[in-house]
Amino acid sequence: MANLLADPDSGLTPAQLAARHGLRVAGERPSLGAYSGQLWRYRHFISAYSHAKLTASFSNARLGQLWQVLTPLTNAAVYYLIFGLVLEQDRGMDNFIAYLTTGLFIFNFTQTSVHQGTQAISGNLGLIRALHFPRAALPLAITATQFQQLLGSIVVLVAIVTATGEPITLMWLMLMPAVLLQTIFNAGLTMVMARLGAKATDLKQVMPFVLRAWMYGSGVLYSVNLFAENLPGWATAVVQFNPMLVYIELARISLLENTHLLNDSLPLTWLIALGWAVVAGLGGYLYFWRGEQEYGRG
């Protein structure tokens, strides 16, 4: 009896003892609010890490970060040669060069983010096991890196659009909110791919084929009117909700004067773009957070 009185922890379970002394399970997933707070405190780390990755990606190239511009321009030239001159997909279009380049630059933003997202966890195991930080910082850093690259591409895109005769109008102001919605969409999708890629390491081998099919189904290389002309009505209705088609169409309608939306409704297109940003951004964040305690373990 005297021993029990002398030891205030007698009779308590290990869980009760841990709670009494403020101990927590190592690697335990924090609450969503606490996790978001941690992530906000690491915003400077995300910014610095993304800038370092951007700089390092071109450090061994003689032309350095100039390849941020040369790579999408080279892709645009190749696709224009094939689809514009050989396959003559420019028929009936006033400015196919600007149309094609806009689609390529906007799609590449999502394509590269998603593909690199599959390795956000599996490619940084050393960092994850050495330091304690919210793991969502890694896919967010990938999105931030690609956003910086997109900004450089937009400068080139504006030059191309202007050089090909497009007038500068107030519609150009729509480009940035469209890109911001796409960035939120990309961040969520990149977090989804990061969690999937952490377990299925072969996913990075499959994604190039998935992304190529997505590109062909998003009207990047040809007029979106071909969907309405060659697909049954129900299929065209489904294609209208393709998020990449939506973001590309918003960019094109912002910069190009004589272009049309597949659904002929700008408010509906904005609503779909907003919906995808919310669903992918919030859903991807929640999905990634739920796997927080798994990352970096065997």
pTM score of the predicted model: 0.85
Please name the residue that has the structure tokens 């403020």: 22
d(CA 145, CA 115): 13
Can you tell me the distance from the alpha carbon of 96 to that of 90, in angstroms, rounded to the nearest whole number?
Answer: 5
Tell me the pLDDT tens digit for each residue of 50-109: 888 877 766 665 555 666 667 777 777 777 777 666 656 555 677 888 888 899 899 999
Check residue 280 and give its pLDDT: 97
- What's the start-to-end Cα distance of the chain, in Å? 47
**Contact assessment for residue 256 and residue 161, using Cβ atoms and an 8 Å cutoff:** yes
Alpha carbon distance 128, 36 (integer Å) = 18
Check residue 85 and give its pLDDT: 61
pLDDT over 90 for what percent of the chain?
40
Neighbours of 168 (CB within 10 A): 10
What is the model's pLDDT at position 92?
A: 61
Rounded mean pLDDT of the chain? 83
pLDDT for 244 equals 95
Q: What is the DSSP letter of 155?
A: H
What pLDDT, on the 0 to 100 scale, is given for residue 107?
Answer: 94
pLDDT recorded at residue 130: 84
Residue 266's φ and ψ, nearest 5 degrees, are -65, -45
Least confident of 47-61, 139-153, 234-248, 254-268: 47-61
3 state SS of 26: coil
The answer to whether residue 45 scores a pLDDT higher than 50 is yes
Query: Vertex 191, ends 99 and 53: CA angle to 5°?
Result: 75
The string of pLDDT tens digits covering residues 142-155 is 999 999 888 888 88
Query: Under a CB-based contact definition with an 8 Å cutoff, are residues 221 and 215 in contact?
Result: yes
pLDDT of residue 1: 45
